[in-house]
């Protein structure tokens, strides 16, 4: 009885291990490491305050399924023209003085359209924050 039970457990383990080897994630099925897989993106906006800007770039037409409330209706066969452009940026650096509120400086710059792109740790007098905005 003990032999049959231990044999059954061993067979179950072998079957489970074999199934784990066969079941692979889709990204494991690429021909070479680092090769991209099919892109699948779901953007779920639950309100105006959560809207996500989307920019699709590429030479091939991309099929987009819209699921919105209220419903957006596009006529069957309608062609929506898009143009891929390269975004150009202008950069600026701002020094946040030691003891100065960084959020106050960055909020003032953000109101003018600037966003933080990075920072460099400065000397004892302050930190340099690198800002960018579209041209």
**Does 82 reside within a domain?**
no
In a domain, 120, yes or no: yes
- pLDDT tens string 72-97: 677 888 877 777 778 889 999 898 88
Whether 41 is in a domain gets the answer no
Residue 111 banded pLDDT, cuts 50, 70, 90 = very high
Q: Is residue 110 part of a domain?
A: yes
Domain of 119 in residue numbering reads as 89-134
**Per residue in 4-56, pLDDT tens?**
777 777 776 667 666 555 555 555 566 666 676 666 667 777 777 776 666 66
Q: Map the chain to HEC letters.
A: CHHHHHHHHHHHHHHHHHHHHHCCCHHHHCCCCCCCCCCCCCCCCCCHHHCCCCCCCCCCCCCCCCCCCCCCCCCCCCCCCCCCCCCCEEEEEEEEECCCCHHHHHHHHHHCCCEEEEEECCCCCEEEEEEEEEC
Residue 123, in any domain of the structure: yes
- Residue 98 belongs to a domain: yes
| 7 falls within a domain | no
Q: Does residue 117 sit within a domain?
A: yes
Domain count, the chain: 1
């Amino acid at each position: 009885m003990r032999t049959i039970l231990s044999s059954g457990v061993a067979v179950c383990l072998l079957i489970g291990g074999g199934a784990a080897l066969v079941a692979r994630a889709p990204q494991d099925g690429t021909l070479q490491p680092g090769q991209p897989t099919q892109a699948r993106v779901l953007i779920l906006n639950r309100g105006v305050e959560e809207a996500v800007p989307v920019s699709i770039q590429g030479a091939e037409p991309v099929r987009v399924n819209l699921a919105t409330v209220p419903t957006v209706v596009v006529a069957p066969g309608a062609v929506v023209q898009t143009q891929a452009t390269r975004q150009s940026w202008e950069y600026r650096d701002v020094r946040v003085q030691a003891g100065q509120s960084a959020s106050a400086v960055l909020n003032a710059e953000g109101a003018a359209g600037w966003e933080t792109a990075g920072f460099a740790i400065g000397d004892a007098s302050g930190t340099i924050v690198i800002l960018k905005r579209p041209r």
